[in-house]
A and B are shown apart, each in its own frame.
Chain A
Amino acid sequence: MSTILEVRDVTMRFGGLVANERVNLAVQSGEIFAVIGPNGAGKTTLFNAITGIYEPTEGAVLFDGHDVRREWTPRVAATGFAVGVASALLAVLALNVTALWQAAVVGKYVYGQPFPWGEALATVPGTLHAAGFWATWGVAIAASLVGRLGFGAIWHSQRRTPDLIARSGVARTFQNIRLFPEMNLVENVLVGMDQHFRCGFWSCLLRPPWFWRERAAMRRRAFELLKFVELDRYAGDLARALPYGYQRRLEIARALATGPKLILLDEPAAGMNPAESADLMRLIRRIRESGVTVVLIEHDMKVVMGISDRIAVLQYGKKIAEGTPEQIRNDPVCIAAYLGTEVIH
């Protein structure tokens, strides 16, 4: 059994507030792992740090042994270079457009005569030279620097983003359900499957045969997923029209649609009645059986103790215990965290 998710010394600081402090977790592939703790213990923050919504202040999140980040590939470098050249051209053109136009078009075009393209283009260097060194080369260099640095800065701030994490096989649900309310169930699931589509803009616009084949295959898969969470009857309904418990299941189906190896469920049983949470436990077991590792945050102890293989307990942003349900149930530190300790005067 291999470690699928490793959280190594992750600290999340927001100004003076420390939401997570040196948290270490190692989730084995194929297990159901629960993170519990009192309200405000930093569980959701940890999920956000894992899924790329936050960048950990310190520490690293390793998925299958890799820190998922965009690489500085030749293609990225070439794009940056192209952005620089485009900015330079645009800036020089913007500054000298009137002079260039006067020399090349007004100067060379005689009404009704064919336009001498060669002669017109030959005026360009002369015009730029006449504009002076700074108005051309100075501006070009400055603009290309601004363009490249801007591109670099944006690229750097986007190295570890939620979409990249989702594409590398980690899916999640949200504590306060975040479906696409005005889209129907199938479309919600299909958004999750977006990364598996091959059709690009032009195929979607012109709809060649392979567009229809892919569409049919993807819809079939979406219905399978809806059937998996037992919502296929409501396929055409808007997500906002679903009862609360169903919305949670739809969110799970949407997360599974991304084709994850690891799924993070943030309080999946919140607001559910006992029958619904029993259903949910069965669903989570089936997800594990389908080969997806499950990490969940949960307050409902019946659910946590019932399905987890291992449990980690957070309090005030620190991990205070980790072990099997049996060990956690009997751990004095955890009991103290949940029930408080007796103060003897």
Chain B
Amino acid sequence: MGAPRKMPWKMALALVALAMVPVVEPSLPQRLAISEPMTDVFVYAILGMALNVITGFTGLLNLGVAAFAAIGAYVFAISTCEIYPFQLGFWPALALTMAVGALAGFALGAPTLRVRGDYLAIVTLGFGEIVKDVLVNLDSITKGTQGINPLPPPTVFGAELGSRGQYWLLLAFVVVVFAGARSLERSRIGRAWLSIREDELASRAMGIRPDHAKMLAFATCASLAALAGALTASRLSSSGEPSNYDFQVSVLALCIVIVGGIGSVRGVLLGAIVMVGMNSIVLVKLTEMIGNTDAAGASRLAETHGMERVWVFITTWAQNVLLSPTNWKFLLFGLALVLMMMFRPQGILPPRAEHEAPPEDEGTGPAPAKGATP
């Protein structure tokens, strides 16, 4: 019996720092508050890790991962919302959501086993649009564009979680999904996925059954994406409207995987922090700052100098849409992707080769080998 490999100290430190955010935040000025947008980062990290299973490990380009998140959000909403009769608790609803997500993954995976590359990308893109349209048009169940709300807050052992508790819950889910993805990656299942990505014919000739492996990858991806959707719904206390799960979400998830390092779970975490952090924190805070400084500076100018015209000029300038960094986000995403492709196509933290110690020396490494060698 052995324990998993030790967590690197850098990662432990980052985890502690993230966990401390809601504790120290109340004593900081309001403009430094980041725990709210950080939950966005966590949800996208889970979505990115979900996509990484199918696109990073197995090498199948999936442009419809948002559809699985939408399925997750709606299944969770329908099974918990009090306007419906089911009213499951938080944890049973989450389990149901992941199971339905896995079934949806099978449903998409089974007919597309022979489809590869660009063609699969188109099929998954179509799937994403279909799911969104179904959710809009099945309005007797899904409430159409209204979304389903309110949803009860998450509970742990019967206790309802506040905003701080929800932050920690999401962080815990990120850690669990991360550990799970790493475990799978470094097992026969992950190796089978990787071998299909590297050379499908060779992996078949070695006895790997690509159909089984791909279906499993689809189901795992869909189940995790559904989890991300359910967690978003639970945080917002609403399923959100179907257009919250459109193509942009899939593309953002894909950007996270590509920028972080395709096939690297650690990279995806970093990618989520960089991409969603830029989107939900840096750009938003910048916009707020520019808005505030201009208004404050302009009014001071106007007061001291009586310069009405300057006041008018500066306020109109400050309201200029071009001056709001949030409006630049897609340009910045595009720029980030182009620069990544030019200078670091493997991503920020690409997967790295494992150090392989021969079995004799393994006693100094991870515990399991020691236990197994008498």
Pair A194/B83 contact, Cβ less than 8 Å = no
Give the interface SS of chain B, mostly helix, strand, loop or mixed.
Answer: helix
Interface set, chain A 49-97, CB cutoff 8 A to B: 51, 53, 97
Pair A180/B202 contact, Cβ less than 8 Å = yes
Q: Which of A201-209, A271-279, A323-331, A333-341 lies at the interface with chain B?
A: A201-209
Q: Determine which of A106, A180, A206 lies in contact with B199 in the assembled complex, contact meaning CB atoms within 8 Å.
A: A180
B191 contacts A by Cβ under 8 Å? yes
Interface set, chain A 101-120, CB cutoff 8 A to B: 101-102, 105-106, 108-109, 111-112, 115, 120
Pair A235/B194 contact, Cβ less than 8 Å = no
Closest to A241 in B: B353
B4 neighbours in A (Cβ, 8 Å): 207
B309 contacts A by Cβ under 8 Å? no
Q: How many residues on chain A are close to B (CB under 8 Å)?
A: 64
- Encoded as 1 (CB less than 8 Å from any B CB) or 0, chain A from 184 to 208 comes to 1111001110110101010011110
A184-B357 Cα distance, complex, nearest whole Å: 12
* Distance in Å: Cβ of B225 to nearest Cβ of chain A: 17
B191 neighbours in A (Cβ, 8 Å): 183, 187, 190-191, 194
Contact of A236 with B207 at beta-carbon distance under 8 Å, contacts A178-B199, A212-B371 already known = no
Q: Which of A2-10, A38-46, A162-170, A300-308 lies at the interface with chain B?
A: A162-170
A245-B18 Cα distance, complex, nearest whole Å: 49
A213 contacts B by Cβ under 8 Å? yes
Q: Which of B35-43, B181-189, B241-249, B278-286 lies at the interface with chain A?
A: B181-189
Pair B207/A178 contact, Cβ less than 8 Å = no
Interface set, chain B 203-241, CB cutoff 8 A to A: 203-211, 216
B368 neighbours in A (Cβ, 8 Å): 212-213, 215-216
Closest to B369 in A: A216
Q: Which of A21-29, A126-134, A217-225, A312-320 lies at the interface with chain B?
A: A217-225
Pair B141/A236 contact, Cβ less than 8 Å = no
Give the interface SS of chain A, mostly helix, strand, loop or mixed.
Answer: helix
A289 contacts B by Cβ under 8 Å? no
Contact of A212 with B1 at beta-carbon distance under 8 Å, contacts A111-B83, A162-B204, A166-B207 already known = yes
* Distance in Å: Cβ of B347 to nearest Cβ of chain A: 13
* Distance in Å: Cβ of B257 to nearest Cβ of chain A: 16
A185-B83 Cα distance, complex, nearest whole Å: 57
B373 contacts A by Cβ under 8 Å? yes
A186-B138 Cα distance, complex, nearest whole Å: 51
Pair A223/B358 contact, Cβ less than 8 Å = yes
Closest to B137 in A: A98
Pair A166/B204 contact, Cβ less than 8 Å = yes
Closest to A101 in B: B141
A179 contacts B by Cβ under 8 Å? yes
Pair B184/A204 contact, Cβ less than 8 Å = yes
Closest to A227 in B: B358
A257-B190 Cα distance, complex, nearest whole Å: 18
B84 contacts A by Cβ under 8 Å? yes
Q: Determine which of A101, A205, A206, A219 lies in contact with B359 in the assembled complex, contact meaning CB atoms within 8 Å.
A: A219
A209-B368 Cα distance, complex, nearest whole Å: 9
Pair B208/A163 contact, Cβ less than 8 Å = yes
B194 neighbours in A (Cβ, 8 Å): 180, 182-183, 187
A111 neighbours in B (Cβ, 8 Å): 82-83
* Distance in Å: Cβ of A199 to nearest Cβ of chain B: 6
Q: Determine which of A115, A201, A216 lies in contact with B189 in the assembled complex, contact meaning CB atoms within 8 Å.
A: A201
A201 neighbours in B (Cβ, 8 Å): 184, 189, 216
Contact of A51 with B205 at beta-carbon distance under 8 Å, contacts A101-B140, A105-B85, A183-B198 already known = yes
Q: Determine which of A105, A185, A195, A215 lies in contact with B207 in the assembled complex, contact meaning CB atoms within 8 Å.
A: A195
B310 contacts A by Cβ under 8 Å? no
Pair A205/B180 contact, Cβ less than 8 Å = yes
Q: Determine which of A109, A181, A232, A257 lies in contact with B198 in the assembled complex, contact meaning CB atoms within 8 Å.
A: A181
A310 contacts B by Cβ under 8 Å? no
Q: Determine which of A186, A192, A205 lies in contact with B206 in the assembled complex, contact meaning CB atoms within 8 Å.
A: A192
Q: Determine which of B353, B357, B372 lies in contact with A217 in the assembled complex, contact meaning CB atoms within 8 Å.
A: B372
Pair A216/B141 contact, Cβ less than 8 Å = no
A184-B354 Cα distance, complex, nearest whole Å: 7
Pair B202/A179 contact, Cβ less than 8 Å = yes
A120 neighbours in B (Cβ, 8 Å): 85
Pair B209/A163 contact, Cβ less than 8 Å = yes
Q: Please list 25 pairs of residues, one from A and one from B, whose beta carbons are closer than 8 Å in the complex, sorted by A's number.
A: A53-B205, A102-B140, A108-B85, A111-B82, A162-B205, A163-B210, A179-B199, A180-B194, A182-B198, A184-B356, A187-B354, A191-B191, A191-B208, A199-B188, A204-B188, A205-B180, A207-B183, A212-B371, A215-B368, A216-B359, A216-B371, A219-B369, A220-B359, A236-B354, A237-B353
Interchain residue pairs A-B with the least CB separation, the first 5: A115-B85, A204-B187, A212-B368, A236-B356, A166-B207
A sample of 12 more A-B contacts (CB under 8 A), given A178-B199, A191-B191, is A163-B205, A163-B209, A179-B199, A190-B191, A194-B208, A197-B188, A201-B216, A215-B368, A216-B369, A223-B359, A238-B353, A255-B206
